[in-house]
Amino acid sequence: MKEVTVNGKNVKWELIPAAGRTVCKINLPNADVAEVVVKTGKEVPYFPPVLLEGNLGEVLSVSTDQAQIESVKDPQNVLSELKIQRNSFAGRLVGQKGFHTIFVLTKVGKAPQLRVFRIKVNDPAGDAREAGRFVEKVPSNAVFENIAISKMLNADVTAIYKQAYLSPRPNTVSVRLGTDGYSPWTFWHWKSLPPDIKIDQVNKMLDGSNRLITKQGVPFAWNAGDKNIAFTSLWDNYPHQIDFQVNTSGDAVWFLVSGSTNVMQCQIANAVIRLQYADGKTDSLELVPPINYWNLSTIDSHATAPGQGSRTDYTAEIDRFCLPAKFPETVQLGENCRAMLLNLKLRSGVALKSVTLETLSQEVVVGLMGITVMKHQK
């Protein structure tokens, strides 16, 4: 920048940093009409955010393309042992895996800029430990014990969108889900009605002992009555949590989970399954969409604005950025009704005393349809 005039007169100006660029701030005098003339010097290019990647514990070195570093802001504390040189900085990756942002105040000549660095932190060792908590594939010679939970069932899964979720709600205008538990505020305008939930495929999966055998080979006791799921929710329609007695030991415990979620509850724990062992120790499994918990039905918006497609479900092409490398196991119970098949390995030789399902997020209904303990293999 060399000079700024307004209506032919010089005015005060200053250069201030902005994301990837420099902005000129002008003191504009009172005027009905303003003709602003800016005389510039050498053009400074725009620097878009830079995506970097590394593993926990590794040292990450970053260059600022000849710009002189004034300061480094690391609000998420992703770097330790931070060392700053004239036009580079380095630090050891710490904290949690995932995406983080670092802001670097720089100067290119006399022009201040705020460089933005997006850092993806990987944790291969942690991923391996986490994967070790689960059974990858059902052994062909596994023996199962179905846990009786029929007394705890409190609803029919097909009625999830056929009731009114009236409280708690703020006593004012809001953009919460509609009282059907399915519809955002736009769905009424688009005439997008809740789907009809059916479990018409269940009979094909039942054996002679009234067990539901999933395609993955895991059996669950099935209640043929008018209640087939134990729902929990922060809506007052259902309890916030339900405890299920187990009192047995084995290699792993399997869960058949079904319920609702929505895009506003994505990437956070909608619910948690807690394990209580006989010796007092505990374990837990968080239900996080879209990692291991999906809505029981597709969500069809029928959007009508130009350029708005009607996305109904998770797809690898569009949503790969937020999906796990391996999709969670599902069981299709019928039209518009699927359940998630989840498991956790158990501690050897210690009885699992009980299991608790607790909903953590607003505007969702999460239910447990079955619990099965996989015993030692034959």
Banded pLDDT at 296 (limits 50, 70, 90): very high
- Angular region, 115: left φ>0, alpha ψ -120 to 50, beta rest: beta
- pLDDT for 190 equals 84
Mean pLDDT calculated for residue range 181-185? 92
Q: Determine if the peptide bond prior to 184 is cis (ω within 30°).
A: no
pLDDT, position 283: 98
- 126-150 confidence digits (pLDDT tens): 999 999 999 999 998 899 999 999 9
- Can you name the residues that pair with 365 across neighbouring β-strands? 233
Q: How confident is the model at residue 378 (pLDDT cuts 50, 70, 90)?
A: low
Choose between 272 and 302: higher pLDDT.
272
Q: What tens digit of pLDDT does each residue of 48-93 get?
A: 999 999 999 999 999 998 799 999 999 999 999 999 999 999 999 9
Adjacent-strand bridge partners of 273: 285, 357
Report pLDDT for 249.
96
Instruction: Give the residue-averaged pLDDT of 340-365.
Output: 97
pTM for this entry: 0.85
pLDDT of residue 187: 87
According to the model, what pLDDT value does residue 56 have?
97
State what percent of residues in the chain have pLDDT above 90.
76
User: If pLDDT is split at 50, 70 and 90, which confidence band does 168 have?
Assistant: very high
Average pLDDT, the chain: 93
Instruction: Evaluate if residue 260 carries a pLDDT over 80.
Output: yes
- Position 167 scores a pLDDT of 96
pLDDT digits (tens, 9 = 90+) for 206-216: 998 999 999 99
Handedness of CA 306, 312, 316, 321 (dihedral sign): positive
Mean pLDDT, residues 284-295: 96
